[in-house]
Amino acid sequence: MTHSIAILGASGYTGAELVRLIAGHPSFEINALSADRKAGQTMAEVFPHLRHLDLPALVKIEEIDFSQIDLCFCALPHKTSQAVISSLPRDLKIVDLSADFRLDDPEVYAEWYGHPHYAKELAPEAVYGLPEFYRDQIRTTKLVANPGCYPTAVLLGLVPGIQAGQLLTEDIIIDAKSGVSGAGRGLKENLLFCEVSEGIHPYSVASHRHAPEIEQEVAKAAGLDDGVFVNFTPHLMPMNRGELCTCYVKMADGVTVDDLRHTYIERFRDEPFVHLTPKDVVPSTRQVRGSNHCFVNIYQDRVPGRAIIVSALDNLVRGSSGEAIHNMNLMFNLPETTGLTQAPMFP
């Protein structure tokens, strides 16, 4: 059986990745593609690398007949998704790639995104779309909040140890780095080639919006209602795609790195997309580029009682569109790896 999908915001990087990946999916076909400023153009005009695909032209959202759609990907800016999703048919399956439904508390959302949440009635229905930890809930929901790219890398590195009581939630330090595509396709002076090339740029220091998302999920993993804070600093790297997160954490009394490695090996043993690398293999973005895989490794810090956890993924695939398709597969009870078996690209 073939299902019909729509991609809203198809003219952005995540929209293009959704199209590229779905082109190889045997159970879905693209029925509608929307854009704002580029409505009326073809995908071949917007993304020449996709010109070999038979795709519908880009249209305005209001021109789409959603009665013919089984699932809708919302690759729209924050705030925009709320109004759009609240206007869609209630029986439509939705994977939202924005941040609009990731935070459980609408007040926390308002604090970090600078405006009230405009679809509070839908927020309780949303399931946080990190498949390794929420797959049962994802299978039965109609609204998935696809995680942010940084939280995906960080949480895959932290949650197993925290759930096992082997890592403490206090004094977590996260040094995160991402390719420029993570900032979107919009024209911004700080993203011009001469501004980004040959440099590393910290940004949103102590104020990045992914911090409360990470704190929310770390608190859940620890069985806490709140009170978790992380020190999270992202950096923009002069590369197109890729994400590397290095987490510095405290181990519980008596826990060793070998204990952690055993926990992670067992936790990820049956996971198709998360891999604990051998002790002597340090995860890097080149190892996962273009794939839906995340590589993780754990090291003993020079500081007694502390560990260093490194995780690497492709921000556009595992950190966004590939994860969205993983969630789609779960929502339709398909094998989780369908359409996502591409090996990483190297060099």
> Can you tell me the distance from the alpha carbon of 113 to that of 297, in angstroms, rounded to the nearest whole number?
33
The pTM for the full model equals 0.96
> Can you tell me the distance from the alpha carbon of 132 to that of 279, in angstroms, rounded to the nearest whole number?
23
> Can you tell me the distance from the alpha carbon of 296 to that of 245, in angstroms, rounded to the nearest whole number?
10
What letter represents residue 151's amino acid? Answer: P
Beta bridge partners of 306: 250
| Beta strand 230-236 pairing with 201-202 | antiparallel
Beta bridge partners of 250: 306
Catalytic residue list contains 294? no
| Residue 2 DSSP code | -
Q: Are 28 and 54 in contact (CB under 8 A)?
A: no
What string of pLDDT tens digits covers the 347 residues of the chain?
Answer: 899 999 999 999 999 999 999 999 999 999 999 998 899 999 999 999 999 999 999 999 999 999 999 999 999 998 899 999 999 999 999 999 999 999 999 999 999 999 999 999 999 999 999 999 999 999 999 999 999 999 999 999 999 999 999 999 999 999 999 999 887 777 678 788 888 889 999 999 999 999 999 999 999 999 998 889 999 999 999 999 999 999 999 999 999 999 999 999 999 999 999 999 999 999 999 999 999 999 999 999 999 999 999 999 999 999 999 999 999 999 999 999 999 999 999 98
Look at the alpha carbons of 128, 132, 136, 140 in this order and tell me if their dihedral is positive or negative. positive
* DSSP H/E element including 134: helix 131-140
Starting at the edge strand found earlier in the chain, the sheet holding 127-128 runs 58-59, 28-34, 3-8, 71-74, 93-96, 143-145, 127-128
What does the pLDDT read at residue 342?
Answer: 95
Q: Which of 72, 149, 247, 294 is catalytic?
A: 149
CA angle 281, 285, 291 (to 5 degrees): 105
